[in-house]
Amino acid sequence: MKTVACIVQEGFAPFEFGLACEAFGLDRSADGVPSFDFRLVSPTPGLVASNLGFSITVDADLSFADEADLVVVTPIPRSSWGAVDERVCEVIRRAVARGAWVLTVCSGSFVVAASGVLDGRRGTTHWMYADTMRRMYPRIEVDPDVLFVQEGRIITSAGTAAGLDACLHLLRQEIGAELTNQIARRMVVPPQRDGGQAQFILNPLPAEASLSLAPVADWALENLHRELPVDELAHRAHMSPRTFARRFKADFGTTPAAWLARQRVIQAQRLLERTDWGLDRIAADCGFGSAAVLRQNFSRVLGISPAAYRARFACPEMADGDERMAAGADPLVAA
């Protein structure tokens, strides 16, 4: 991925627009992160008003979006959901047809939905608008309980900050986990959040939840090579296994087993990038037990084999069996 077109339309949401600029528009080459040719485009170039009373100047029309590797779609006002600019819809259809990435932030998913490319597929949007999307687009399987959905090379994201999760998810596939972690560190956000929108509806955490699980999660990340049964984690949290599992799902949005599996895959990504270890050693370090189990879980989560991932994202200057990587996954992932 080298070129990114961000579509800006009348009444755009500044924060969601800013997420795209932050994720793809900044020059981070000094940190070894590839830079993208990032351009703002609009169906009607010139002054484009935001929904907060100020405007920005967009000089380019939509033609650049027809050659971009990624087309980012930011939200438009609710009053425009039923009358999406057909020129934008055509750009999205052509992008999907030629195999480019299409990523939406928050209710930008309504723009992509209007193009028809999500018909018969899964998608998401802000939980407040999920029922509206179901009514307007009954052929889309709307999932209101996730931070983002990837269908092929179309990524739809949930409300506001979940757009950043979607951006980082795409970057992990294009530039690898290690460089994406660097971007996340610069933005002071976790490289990957588990869970879904259900965590943020009404109450972010149940009233009885505490921060007592954070030390347990940190300890687990440092001991991924072990089996880590729920009983052992519960014992460390001074809870019964049943109470621990309930609290963990409330706090992290997923089960302990699913969370551990994801952290093990992330650790495997980093080891594949930064070391020359064989798959058996990586599997042991990550707690998968065998190379076969590693391959199965890695391919299921990322849709690519460990060997293909290493061929694409290995950092030759770091492939020296760096023992520091054996300590566990990035602690930020536990946030």
CATH number at residue 152: 3.40.50.880
Average pLDDT taken over every residue of the chain: 86
Does residue 242 belong to any structural domain of this protein? Answer: yes
Place of tokens 């027809």: 66
Q: Are residues 179 and 276 in the same domain?
A: no
Q: What's the predicted TM-score (pTM) here? A: 0.68
Does residue 199 belong to any structural domain of this protein? Answer: no
Does residue 195 belong to any structural domain of this protein? Answer: no
Does residue 256 belong to any structural domain of this protein? Answer: yes
Where is pLDDT greater, at 239 or 319? 239
Q: What is the DSSP letter of 34?
A: P
Q: Are residues 120 and 180 in the same domain?
A: yes
pLDDT of 102 strictly over 90: yes
Smallest Cα–Cα separation from 119: which of 145, 97, 137, 98? 137
- Full residue range of the structural domain in which residue 7 is found: 3-187
Q: Are residues 30 and 155 in the same domain?
A: yes
Could you give the number of structural domains in the chain?
2
Does residue 200 belong to any structural domain of this protein? Answer: no
Distance from C-alpha of 328 to C-alpha of 222, rounded to nearest angstrom = 5
Q: Are residues 148 and 181 in the same domain?
A: yes
Q: pLDDT tens digit string along 154-181?
A: 999 988 788 898 999 999 889 988 888 8
Whole-number Cα distances in Å, 254 to 190, 196, 278 = 16, 8, 30
pLDDT of 200 strictly over 80: no
Whole-number Cα distances in Å, 69 to 31, 33, 44, 93, 174 = 22, 17, 21, 14, 11
Lowest mean pLDDT among 16-20, 60-64, 326-330: 326-330
